[in-house]
Chains A and B, each alone.
Chain A
Amino acid sequence: MTSVIGVLFDGLAYGSLLFLVAVGLSITMGLMNFINLAHGAFAMIGGYFSVWLTQKTGLPFLATLPFAFFGAGLAGLAAERLLFQRLYKASHLDQVLFTVGFVFSSIAAAHYFFGAGQQFVSTPGFLQGQLRVAGVDLGKYRLFLIAVVILLTIALHLMFAKTRFGAQVRASVDNQDAAAGLGVNVGLVFSLCFALGSGLAGLGGALGVEVLGLDPTFPLKYMVYFLLVVVVGGAGSLRGPLIAALILGVFDVAGKYFIPQAGAFIIYVLMIALLLAFPSGLGGRRA
């Protein structure tokens, strides 16, 4: 019984991390109907930025997290302005190919600068070890992860629900042309969303070095997971991807724990089943 709770807990932590990385992808895909397979590259940038800062400047890991967020956000903004925005009107095939090309190049670049090996960060002492709650050992770092993601999700929700920018984003997702007609600068909204999404992905990548690992193949290895969160959850919303990410996280961890010989098999079969059962996502506005 305790193992079930432990697996559930690990799965939730893993799923919330997936959500953190993929939520930006959900917004940008919902907004521009742009298939971005390169989203993981920005998570990787955040992760490497954080690792590099701790190694070069000796900053503690937690202090590098804002840098990971802003670094990846800026990289995302630059990539969107210089490259991706040329493809919003292009066919889905072109978008897929272009972003796959971006993934290949970013993998090679990461390999060139940081080597092929796994990267490590040292988490601060008070986040190491276990916390015993009601007879179950919970990893402190994973509790921290869940807490961070809960806070960020509330902040995102408030931003989308209460602020003027949030209203503009929602209007643009619902109907781009009408929003533009009412004076919303859809291009700017999209650039900011892309930057925000990349920043969150970068933050997720940095936080995830402990959980997901970090090596140059990161964008390819987790591409399916991020896409799955968005496609199953439905693009353009917060709730759908959150539910999808948590389901995915729990199933993946449970599958690897209880049926280790099946490996990643369970998650892929689950993905195909979910895609066929919910062709337009669990709760999205637009698929």
Chain B
Amino acid sequence: MTLHEPIAIGRLASPRPRLAEILLWLTPAVAYFLFPDNLALGVSIMTYAVAVLALDLALGYAGIVSLGHAAFFGIGAYTAGLLTIHGWREPLTGLLIAGAVSLCAGFLGSLLVVRGKDLTRLMVTLGLGLVVFELANRMSGITGGVDGLSGIDVAPLFGVFEFDLYGRTAWWYSYAVLFGVFVFLRVVLASPFGLSLRGIREGGKRMPALGASVESRLRVAFTLSAGLAGISGGLLAQTTQFVGVDSLSVPLAAEFLVMLVLGGTGRLYGALAGTALFLIARERLADLNPVYWEFWMGVLLMAVVLFLRGGLVGALARLWARLRPASEGGAR
């Protein structure tokens, strides 16, 4: 059973930016000046977007359904938080170390995850997530347990820009990290490695005939994805200056999935759009009643699966494809 509808190669092959993309990347900057009171929301969107992009690499491109990505996110968050608390207060290297630690954890995880089929993989990632959560919960001497880690005091960025109360530095910092991760993924996915991932997703049995080792490529993809999720977690720790056990929990992993599916899997912009939409909707609806929000999130998820194949960006792409021939004078 295939996981995804096939995607035309032409749309994905070029890593070069188009005009529309440049405009799209300018919108956050416009939002920064238009909504100066909502910077915190912007920071959290851009932070989580990194994790959802990471999940897209594992799920949308490599086809590994993971319910354990919050584990790697949380490992990154705790790493960044603990580094700062124990004196390593420089943010950029802290973030890189957070990513590296998650990368190692992801490599260990990938040895277990890649072996099985869909359901086994799902269960193993779920199990990993639960094990890591339990560990963090038990080792409260290090992780702060239920109370979480607080008192994370990050040094100024480049020694100049303080992480201020309004979140201005945090905003530009997460914007830059998100952009960096996006470009990185874009290059990776356009490389022969990225193309082989798509080949495995569409027809795993044929790839060995082309000389591609399926398991090792999936391991690399999962490991990379875990590392990027760790960077996202580190970003969260540095910008909010707090890490709770929630950041390792399975419901958070499920939320990552929801964000990705809402926007559309197998498209990097789907991950971005889904995260933004999800977090803005939650901001608006959870104010009314948190329980209420959970109900609608469930309904939304079911509706997307039933009616909105390919998520929001997928639906827009289909709409665009339908409109375009019409605007060219009904070429069909």
Q: Max chain A CB contacts within 10 Å: which of B2, B122, B137, B250?
A: B122
The answer, yes or no, to whether B294 is at the interface (CB within 8 Å) is: yes
Provide the residues of chain B in CB contact with A275, threshold 8 Å: 116, 120, 123-124, 127
A264 touching B134 in the complex, CB below 8 Å, given contacts A92-B65, A112-B295: yes
User: Chain A's nearest CB lies how many Å from the CB of B283?
Assistant: 18
Q: Is the CB of A224 within 8 A of B126?
A: yes
* CA–CA, A220 and B257, complex, Å: 16
Provide the residues of chain B in CB contact with A91, threshold 8 Å: 1-4
Provide the residues of chain B in CB contact with A104, threshold 8 Å: 254, 294-295, 297-298, 301
Chief secondary structure at chain A's binding surface: helix
Q: Is the CB of B3 within 8 A of A220?
A: no
Interchain CB contact (< 8 A) of A92 among B119, B131, B306: B119
The answer, yes or no, to whether A165 is at the interface (CB within 8 Å) is: no
Q: Is the CB of A276 within 8 A of B115?
A: yes
* CA–CA, A196 and B324, complex, Å: 50
Provide the residues of chain B in CB contact with A35, threshold 8 Å: 118-119, 122
* CA–CA, A105 and B254, complex, Å: 13
* CA–CA, A100 and B254, complex, Å: 8
- Beta-carbon nearest neighbor of A271 in chain B: B127
* CA–CA, A261 and B112, complex, Å: 26
Q: Which of A87-129 contact B (CB under 8 A)?
A: 87, 90-94, 96-98, 100-109, 111-112
The answer, yes or no, to whether A227 is at the interface (CB within 8 Å) is: yes
Provide the residues of chain B in CB contact with A272, threshold 8 Å: 112, 124, 127-128, 131
Interface residues of B (CB under 8 A from A): 1-4, 59, 65, 67, 112, 115-120, 122-124, 126-128, 130-131, 134-135, 137-138, 250-251, 254, 257-258, 261, 265, 291-292, 294-295, 297-302, 304-306
Q: Which 4 A-B pairs have the closest CB atoms?
A: A101-B301, A105-B298, A104-B298, A108-B295
A-B contact pairs, 11 of them (CB 8 A): A86-B306, A91-B1, A96-B65, A100-B258, A231-B123, A268-B130, A268-B131, A272-B127, A276-B116, A287-B117, A287-B120
